[in-house]
């Protein structure tokens, strides 16, 4: 990834300000090393900022269901 970024024209590399990427450590490190002036965002966070829509409620429900399931399983043993 770093090699690909480095192969792009200097004007292209200098023109970016924000990159919305998968936060895989390889991609994140490549952007940080090759484009230190660029901010990185998780696509989900950028979507929440621009749309105001989040999945926080469903994540809370999922966490409660998983917690209950763990307690039920542990008590069944």
Write the pLDDT tens digit of every residue in 56-68. Answer: 777 777 788 888 8
How many other C-beta atoms can be found within 10 angstroms of the C-beta atom of residue 31? 19
How many other C-beta atoms can be found within 10 angstroms of the C-beta atom of residue 35? 19
Q: What is the spatial distance between Cα 3 and Cα 33, in angstroms, rounded to a whole number? A: 11
Write the pLDDT tens digit of every residue in 3-54. Answer: 988 999 999 989 888 777 666 778 888 888 888 888 877 777 777 777 777 6
Residue 69 has pLDDT above 80, yes or no: yes
Q: What is the spatial distance between Cα 16 and Cα 19, in angstroms, rounded to a whole number? A: 7
């Amino acid at each position: 990834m770093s090699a690909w970024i480095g192969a792009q024209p200097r004007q292209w590399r200098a023109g970016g300000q924000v990159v919305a990427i998968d936060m895989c450590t390889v991609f994140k490190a490549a952007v940080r090393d090759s484009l230190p002036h660029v901010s990185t965002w998780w696509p989900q966070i950028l979507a929440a900022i621009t749309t105001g829509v989040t999945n926080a409620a469903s994540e809370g429900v999922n966490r409660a269901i998983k917690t209950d399931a763990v307690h039920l399983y542990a008590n069944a043993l």
